[in-house]
Amino acid sequence: MKIAIVEDDINMRKSLELALSDDYEIVTFRNGIEALKKLDDSFDLVITDITMPRMDGIEFVKKLNGKFEVIMMTGNATLNRAIDSIRLGVKDFITKPFEIETLIEAIERSRVIREKSKQQTSKIETKREFIANSNSIKQALDIALKVAKTDATVLLLGESGVGKEEFANFIHKNSNRAKQPFVAINMSAIPENLVESELFGYEKGAFTDAVNQKIGLFESANGGTLFLDEIAEMPYHLQAKLLRVLQEKEMFRLGGTKPIKLDIRVISATNKNLKNFIEEGRFREDLFYRLNTIPLNIPPLRERKDDIIPISEMILNRVTKNYNLDDKILSDEVKNELLSYEWPGNVRELISVIERAVILSDKVITKKDLFLDSRR
């Protein structure tokens, strides 16, 4: 098992490397920027500190964009910030100081889940159903269905993990464009210097490394829907180009002189307050009004108490089926725990918690299988 340790404290970094190197292949990095340059598919797990210079652990995990299992290390002073890591899909976080056995247990939990997933990768079902027992989510879905029949731009608003991409896909699948491409891009996951070429593509020779023509995401989505997640992170200098695409229905590749006609529907999403960004000069007001034709608020999971147990049972059944596990049930104690927890990471966190509990538990899932105490 190959593990990346990202820790700025040299003593902590060396101590962890020494303690773990007998059982695991360990590669250490001084900071997130250094790690991002070296991480590749050969790594199985990333262990990172939160408080680091140049790029903190939260920003680092955001840049990973869900490509790796992550264990977060945090001091008491940064425990509140660790909640942010849950929203980004971090499976475990450990409070310093800790015994090395505690870290090894977390690593082994990650190993078990990873091995189970590998065995059944080809059988994983990616389609998610909407469970809507609560009035708040019913109202949001009703609006989404009405909007789907039009080509109006939609701005999805809500906390991280509420399912904004699922909503965007739901709108697409219920639209006249359902048989055409649905293309999603997370603006925060792409380095700023690559955003323009990813969106608009480029002609051969447009810049030094442009040895071939590249089709951008706008063209890839032509006829269908382009979903721009984390739209608040779009570089300011590119916002005018996006506005022009929305207004003129055409674009130019980088280095190109011929306009390319577009027929796309744009759905964007954010967990930020864009009006604050406008006041701070970080987001164009004219683009905001163009994107905000239909604002759609997606409620957080803590406001959907009626949906928590049905969603949990749906995940449980899906995981047991996908991994060929014996049938399992949630104990009454577990149901009470699920209902009393605040779910700062929303549905994304619930999926992670239930999936891990199903894989690691016996027939009856108990409170200890949830590992929620470490998240409070």
CATH number, domain at 311? 1.10.8.60
The arithmetic mean of pLDDT across residues 178-201, rounded, is 90
Give the confidence band of 116 by pLDDT, cuts at 50, 70, 90: low
Does 282 have pLDDT greater than 90? yes
Amino acid identity of residue 361, one-letter, is: S
Query: Does 126 fall in a domain?
Result: no
> Of 290 and 117, which is predicted with more confidence?
290
The rounded distance, in Å, linking the Cα atoms of 53 and 196 is 28
Q: Return the beta strands (E) in the chain as ranges.
A: 2-6, 25-29, 45-49, 69-74, 92-95, 154-157, 182-186, 225-229, 250-251, 260-261, 265-270, 294-297, 329-330, 364-365
Decide if 113 is inside a domain: yes
Q: Could you tell me if residue 129 is inside a domain?
A: no
Query: Which CATH number covers residue 269?
Result: 3.40.50.300
In the sheet where 265-270 sits, what is the strand order?
182-186, 225-229, 265-270, 154-157, 294-297
CATH code of the domain in which 53 resides: 3.40.50.2300
Looking at the domain assignment, is residue 125 inside a domain?
Answer: no
The whole-model pTM stands at 0.69
How many domains does the chain fold into?
A: 3
Same domain, 317 and 333: yes
Domain that holds residue 58: 2-119
User: Average pLDDT, stretch 7-32?
Assistant: 91
What tens digit of pLDDT does each residue of 285-309 get? 999 999 999 999 999 999 999 999 9
Range with the poorest average pLDDT among 11-20, 107-116, 117-126, 221-230: 117-126
Q: What is the pLDDT of residue 267?
A: 98
Pair 266, 309 in one domain = no
Contact 35, 46 (CB under 8 A): yes
Identify whether 127 is part of a domain: no
| Listed residues 297, 329, 355: the one ending a domain | 297
Q: Quote the pLDDT of residue 294.
A: 95
Of 45-49, 113-117, 262-266, least confident by mean pLDDT is 113-117
Q: Which of 90, 119, 148 marks a domain boundary?
A: 119
Q: Looking at residue 72, what is its pLDDT?
A: 85
Tens digit of pLDDT for each residue in 41-58? 788 899 998 888 888 888
**CA angle, 114 as apex, 329 and 335 as ends, to 5°?**
25
Percent of the chain with pLDDT strictly greater than 90? 59
Q: List the end-to-end C-alpha distance of the chain, in Å, as a whole number.
A: 29
pLDDT band at 109 (very low <50, low <70, confident <90, very high): confident
pLDDT of 270 above 90: yes
Mean residue pLDDT across the chain? 87
| The pLDDT of residue 110 | 80
Which pair of structure tokens corresponds to residue 314? 């749906």
Selection from 221, 65, 215 nearest residue 151 by Cα: 221
Same domain, 357 and 264: no
Read off the pLDDT of residues 61-74 as tens digits, 9 standing for 90 and up.
888 877 788 888 87
Residue with the larger pLDDT of the pair 134 and 96: 134
Residue 129: predicted pLDDT: 54
> pLDDT tens across 332-376, in order?
999 999 999 999 999 999 999 999 999 999 899 999 999 887 666
